[in-house]
Structure 1
Amino acid sequence: MALGMMTKRFSALFLIIILNGVSLCLPLFCESGKWTIAAQKFTADNVSNEDNVNSKTAEMLPSDILEKIGTAVTRNVMPEEQFERTKYKLRTERQSLFLQLSAEYKKRDSLVLANYSDYKLKTALKESQKKITSLQEKITANLDELKKATEENERKMAAVANGDAELQTQESELNKFKNLFKKIFEKDESLIQQEQISFYGNDVSKLYTPSNELKELAVTDSLYEKAVVNAGINTLLTGHYSKYGDYISVYVDMYIYPGVRKIGSVAEVGSVKELELITTSIAMQLVPVISNSLPVELVVAVSPQEAAPKTVVYIDDVLQKIESGKLIVDSGIHTIQFISEGYKAAGTTYAFEGNKKYFIDINFEKPKSGFIQVELKKPLNGSLLMNGERAIEVEPQKSQIAINGKEILGEFVAENGETAFFYIPHKLTFDSSNVIINPKPMDRMAYIDKRRKIMYTSYSIFIISLIPTFYTLANFKNNANLYANNQIDYETAKNWQTASNVSKAISLGCGLFWGYELVRYLMAANSVLPQKAKASKNSEFIYYTPEELEEIKKRNNTVETEEISNQKDGETE
């Protein structure tokens, strides 16, 4: 093999190994951190003596809230929060360095009082001064790092305010290829880091309990902050509750560490018997605060033009104002509804991701108005209900109702109370539409139950019929073998063959009967679905003036009143 060919193969193999190594290492360098949330036991406001019930309530409330929050939430860690962590770390480091510096100064001062020779004293002082100088340089470097971090935080917060999520630099394709291996282990500098929510001790039921020395201190005290940070907690839920009779009010405050800053407060009132609803409501209100949702920009375009000036927007049932065709909302799941006078309302529910722009085009439609007439294929006594309203019987076996351009779900109610559902598809819901239906009112649940029982009975008969079939078939085969060996006579073998054939025929008939009843049962179960109306080809839409419709209504009401009166008289007699 040529040397050049070997060199190329080894080069390709080396490149594959490098790329595979990079693909294995990348998850390690891209692994996101954890944002730990904890809660401490709540306190009762109007209880002097803490009994067992109040103690359980004080522990159950925070645990239930944490459980409702769950671990699926992701925290957007802003540069300001990242800076607070850096500042706390540097401050802790400076305090430690200062304590070491203080001890070193005291140690140096004590050398003068010690019984040392001049040479030994000079050497000891020189060594001590060297340590002091090193500590002073570390404190100075720490302060310089704090200054740089402060400037960097201001720059990043300004970038976030301008809507930039990442610090990006433009590179040519050639430079990107050149820097492929140079930057292979470098992460993109993201202004906003995402951290997955985790619980203190990885257990929602585990509450943070401060030591006895900290119990009397406020959660904003520096000593309390130090203990919380040392416990690896990023945010702490505190709360208190009041209970009067069957009702309870719960108040929850959320503090972020380090920096000890209150980032949210929630209050909820409800029944003691429905604590589940209270904790769920509190958790739902805390989730946006925990996730630190970024704003979302909605660009709204309305058509037709004449509908735009009259358009109002409701987001989560709250009226919003559109400025220059734009809306700013928090990220998360929102229900948006657009309403314009004279047009059909439009809306949707969507999960909006933060720091993004969404374009929403609203095409308002004029509501379709008019009347539709429904004809019965066969004469039936009863009434028609469509979209929750009773239709007007304009002719025998023909009723009319107003339409709004949507599909119509209707129900025919017979005089004996039995019903039959039907629906009119969207393409037939236009003014002057004439449709026909063939309702079959019945007690469908009783009918389905009847067909189910018959089907199971036929199945049982079929299974039972298989017993003699298998028995006679086995005996026939056995006797056929005996006859082949001249051990029995022909008539015996023939009788078993006949018995086997008869049994198989009976089983086949039972199987067919079971299959038939199974199909009937499935058809019965399917009968609960509404029947689809069809366009009527044998008759036309009959127009009535408003006065004629009003007269028909009065006549129908009179007939109904007389029927009800006759029924009452009959019952009285």
Structure 2
Amino acid sequence: MSKISSRYFIVALMCVMIHISLFSQSNMSKDESNDEWILAASSFTVDQEEVADAETPVSLALTEIKDLLPKLILSNINLPAIRKVKPEELLSREKLDLESSYISLVSTYESKLETKDTLIITAKEDDDFKDQLEEAEEAVLEAKKELEETDLKRKELNVQDFTETSENIVLYKDDSSVLFTMPKTGEPNTIQGLITGSIQLVGEYCHAKIQLVLYPGSKILYDETFTFRVNEIKSNAAQITRKLLPVIQNEDVVSILFQLAPKEVSDAIEIRVDGELVELDSNNAIVVSRNWHKISFNCDGYATAQTLANFSEEDSYTVQINLRKLKINEIKIDSSIPLKSLFVNGLEFNPEEPFLVDFLPAMGQAVISPNAATYFIITDDGNQFLKPNTQDISDYIEKRRRLMYTSYGALLLSFPFSFITYGMYIDANYSAYSYGINNGYDDTYTNLVEKQDNLEKVSNVTMAISIGLGVNLAYQFVRYILAVNKVLPKKTKTIKSASTEE
């Protein structure tokens, strides 16, 4: 078997496997609401002559893809989902209904009129004839009245008579693996939306033209062509669904034009909207729903940029992005203690050798032992000095916390002794003074004064102890705060070379 044939057989086999996966998935159950908007997908047509020959690998691949792609698109629609129905669409639906009723009533009116004319020409003039003619004339008048009323309703329709509503989106037969077959004549009356299209296979690439048709009215709401590798059909089907979904849900959309700088990033940049990878059209634009969106920009050799903005006020926006080229910085870490391991921006480096980082500031971790690590920030390139932690920070913080609370407890315990002895001193002082005033300065007074002096000394000692414990508490609190701050990353210090200092 040739190389090309083998490739197409592999593609066909892959398609069959995805088919099996789709059939094994059960779709979301439909909402119990009566207002449903039924979405279906039909088998895609093939714009290629090889399909006529069922024996070729290309034909086999096309046969699989034309059914697989619409099924994958449907399977990527997350249900339950709501579709907005604008007044203009409701007006269009009502007009189509009245138009259909009007055509039917015209046919009925002409039939009744023909019946009356036939009766006049062929019937005999007797009592039965008069009754039959009267009935025929009444039928004609009634049909004419209905016809005129319908015509009047049709002419008086106005968009202001309708208000926006919503419908629950459900899949045809509640199954993404079931494709819809179009009737041979007329429009389908069991669905409201149909995903259809055509495919063409060129080498390893598939060109798929995707359309979304609205019924009744056969209005094409979406028409776009996609090109992708056949072996990437699953991821591209998800992208097609993402582009179709705002149209299916009838959301208001806006266009975002990107002006990228420098120019060389245009071909290599990766743009994501709300985490989903998107591709720009030929005008460097995308279409998104009117809402808040987070947009990120990634390109090798440039710093990642992102923005979160509200795209709901205007019909189109322009986003200007100037990516900053990353500078390769050579760093060498010198420390007061030999490092066991060194990590910077999540990558491990040899602590003894210089290393390269593509942007600054950079976050790192220096490890001395399994229990001693230091986080640091590098803001400049060149030689950097770091004084790492030499012990387990969590244990050190816990030790300082215990000492602080022990000091606090000791201070609280000292207060009763200080207050009591001071109170006793004040009481003794008052007793001696009162006794001396009333009884004179005898031996009892001398004893009271001696007692007062002793209590004053005790009070001063207990007060000094409380003050000392208070000072110690403040000291331990400061040490605790300093210990807690060791958790914060340290900023390295740039070591200036001799030439720089000169």
TM-score (norm 2): 0.53
> How far is 1:137 from its partner?
1.5
Q: Which residue of the partner structure matches residue 242 of structure 2? A: 284
Q: Which residue of the partner structure matches residue 256 of structure 1? A: 214
> How far is 1:355 from its partner?
8.2
Q: Which residue of the partner structure matches residue 303 of structure 1? A: none
Please tell me whether residue 35 in structure 1 is matched to residue 37 in structure 2: yes
Q: Which residue of the partner structure matches residue 335 of structure 1? A: 294
Aligned-residue RMSD, C-alpha = 5.0
Give SS of 2:208's match.
Answer: strand
In 2: Cα distance, 1:402 partner to 1:337 partner = 19
In 1: Cα distance, 2:358 partner to 2:63 partner = 61
Specify the code of the residue in structure 1 equivalent to 2:338.
Answer: P
Please tell me whether residue 409 in structure 1 is matched to residue 364 in structure 2: yes
Please tell me whether residue 121 in structure 1 is matched to residue 129 in structure 2: yes
In 1: Cα distance, 2:498 partner to 2:91 partner = 74
Please tell me whether residue 200 in structure 1 is matched to residue 172 in structure 2: yes
Choose which of 58, 69, 80 in structure 1 pairs with 2:77: 69
Q: Which has the larger radius of gyration?
A: 2
CA change 1:390–1:547 in 2 (3 A) is farther
> How far is 1:64 from its partner?
1.3
Please tell me whether residue 209 in structure 1 is matched to residue 181 in structure 2: yes
Q: Which residue of the partner structure matches residue 224 of structure 1? A: 186
Any idea what the Cα deviations from partners look like across 1:88-128, whole Å, max 9, x if unmatched?
11112112211211110110011112333244333322221
In 1: Cα distance, 2:92 partner to 2:179 partner = 25
Match runs of 1:42-57 below 5 Å: 42-46=44-48, 47-49=50-52, 51=54, 53-57=61-65
> How far is 1:424 from its partner?
3.3
> How far is 1:335 from its partner?
2.3
> How far is 1:145 from its partner?
1.6
Match runs of 1:393-408 below 5 Å: 404=360, 408=363
Q: Which residue of the partner structure matches residue 496 of structure 2? A: 544
Any stretches of 5+ residues in structure 2 without a counterpart?
A: 1-31, 55-59, 257-270, 281-286, 298-302, 316-328, 393-485
In 2: Cα distance, 1:400 partner to 1:255 partner = 56
Match runs of 1:72-471 below 5 Å: 72-149=80-157, 151=158, 153=159, 155=160, 191-211=163-183, 214=184, 223-225=185-187, 228=188, 230=189, 232-295=190-253, 316=273, 330-331=289-290, 334-336=293-295, 347-348=306-307, 376=335, 378-380=337-339, 384=342, 386-387=344-345, 404=360, 408-410=363-365, 424=375, 436-437=388-389
> How far is 1:402 from its partner?
11
> How far is 1:197 from its partner?
1.2
> How far is 1:86 from its partner?
0.8
Q: Which residue of the partner structure matches residue 3 of structure 2? A: none
Q: Matched residue pairs, number?
A: 329
In 1: Cα distance, 2:358 partner to 2:69 partner = 53
Specify the code of the residue in structure 1 equivalent to 2:186.
Answer: Y
> How far is 1:224 from its partner?
2.7
In 2: Cα distance, 1:400 partner to 1:289 partner = 48
Any idea what the Cα deviations from partners look like across 1:120-153, whole Å, max 9, x if unmatched?
333322221211111122122112222232x2x1
Q: Which residue of the partner structure matches residue 554 of structure 1? A: none
Specify the code of the residue in structure 2 equivalent to 1:192.
Answer: E
Query: Does the CA-based 8 Å contact 1:374-1:400 persist in structure 2?
Result: no
In 1: Cα distance, 2:209 partner to 2:83 partner = 23
Any stretches of 5+ residues in structure 1 without a counterpart?
A: 1-29, 157-188, 215-222, 299-313, 320-327, 339-343, 358-369, 441-530, 552-573
Give SS of 2:186's match.
Answer: helix
CA change 1:98–1:44 in 2 (3 A) is same
> How far is 1:243 from its partner?
1.3
> How far is 1:398 from its partner?
12
Specify the code of the residue in structure 1 equivalent to 2:37.
Answer: W
Query: Does the CA-based 8 Å contact 1:42-1:238 persist in structure 2?
Result: yes
> How far is 1:208 from its partner?
1.4
CA change 1:402–1:257 in 2 (3 A) is closer
CA change 1:409–1:290 in 2 (3 A) is farther
Any idea what the Cα deviations from partners look like across 1:291-325, whole Å, max 9, x if unmatched?
12125799xxxxxxxxxxxxxxx995899xxxxxx
Specify the code of the residue in structure 2 equivalent to 1:424.
Answer: Y
Taking every aligned residue pair, what percent have the same amino acid on both sides? Answer: 22
In 1: Cα distance, 2:93 partner to 2:371 partner = 68
Query: Does the CA-based 8 Å contact 1:63-1:205 persist in structure 2?
Result: yes
Specify the code of the residue in structure 2 equivalent to 1:125.
Answer: L
Specify the code of the residue in structure 1 equivalent to 2:172.
Answer: Y
Specify the code of the residue in structure 2 equivalent to 1:272.
Answer: V
CA change 1:436–1:82 in 2 (3 A) is same
